[in-house]
Amino acid sequence: MRSFVIAILALFVLAAAPLHAVSTLTLIQPATTVSSGGVIDYGTVGPGQSFSVKITPSVHDANGKYLGRWDYVNVTNLPDGWTSRPSGLYGDPLEVGVSADPLAAEGDYTFTIVTVDESGADNIGGNITFDVVVHVSKNVLGATIAPLHQEVGAGQPARYSFTLTNLGTAPDTFRIGATGVKGWSYEMSEYLAPGATKTFNYEVVGTDEAYYPLTLYVQSQSSPQIKYEQPVTLQVRTNLVADYKATSQGVLLYPPIMLPVNSLAGLLGMFFP
């Protein structure tokens, strides 16, 4: 009789248990897998930067048979000053967004992600929970600027070449500008995906004959802590040789009919040191 009761209880337990208990998730970003209760390393992000964790919602068995899907993903246990955006319901992939505190100190931070099968409708097991470790560093921007000195004619553009590299695992947009020339406040913006490198030109124009000690800068839109500055110099002259040399750098606006003259002047400028 006792054995019969134990067998009946075992059947009730089996009937109440999920048909397909799942304990492992497949992530698209970062590309990895994680088990319930596990930990993943997201990589390095800068203060204030925003990034995503993307999860494959579909669940299959070892033979590829479809078992069900996770319905949404949420973030808990965020560090102070951090914010998050939960995934949409039934998204594919399920994507949560996280933003670090713009004033976050450098170091390691951890938060928790919960993957939910709403109401257990797909019978693939309970919620899967795992932790994400993020390394926060201000050194997520690589930058070089050349040349460090320019000599141009008054009203001519001094062209500086920027090469920027995103060293982190979060995208960002950077503002590029210069200080040190009276009345000059032009800024441009460049978007950099994680690991991306871009090279481009930035131009400064001085209208008065003078020697300008400039500061060229690159500033993250995510945080004031992510910034690169490079001192350079600009000599603006109002003589014919300087004007010839400046035309080889190009001009901001130039009438098409004068292009042959501009090209000749640029060629002559190459013969002057």
Asked whether residue 126 falls in the same domain as residue 27, the answer is yes
Tokens of 147: 């040349």
Any domain includes 264:
no
- DSSP reduced 3-state for 99: strand
Residue 122 pLDDT level (bands cut at 50, 70, 90): low
Provide the Cα torsion 124, 127, 133, 138; round to 10°.
100
Decide which of 102, 136, 170 is a domain's last residue. 136
Query: What is the DSSP track for 21-87?
Result: ---EEEEEETTEEEETT-EEEEEEE-TT-EEEEEE--EEE-TT--EEEE--EEEEESPPTT-EEEPP
- Which of 200, 235, 228 has its CA nearest to residue 214? 235
Confidence class for position 119, pLDDT limits 50, 70, 90:
low
Look at strands 197-205 and 157-166 and give their pairing.
antiparallel
Q: Is the pLDDT of residue 246 over 90?
A: no
C-beta neighbour count of 62 within 10 angstroms: 5
Give yes or no: residues 118 and 178 share one domain. Answer: no
pLDDT attached to residue 245: 56
My answer on whether 225 and 163 are in the same domain is yes
Q: Are residues 167 and 181 in the same domain?
A: yes
> What pTM was estimated for this model as a whole?
0.76
| Domain hosting residue 215, numbered range | 141-238
What is the tens place of the pLDDT at every residue in 27-63? 999 999 999 999 999 999 999 999 999 999 988 877 8
Instruction: Report whether pLDDT(23) > 80.
Output: no
- Both 84 and 174 in one domain: the answer is no
Q: What confidence tens digit (pLDDT) does each residue in 236-245 have? A: 998 655 555 5
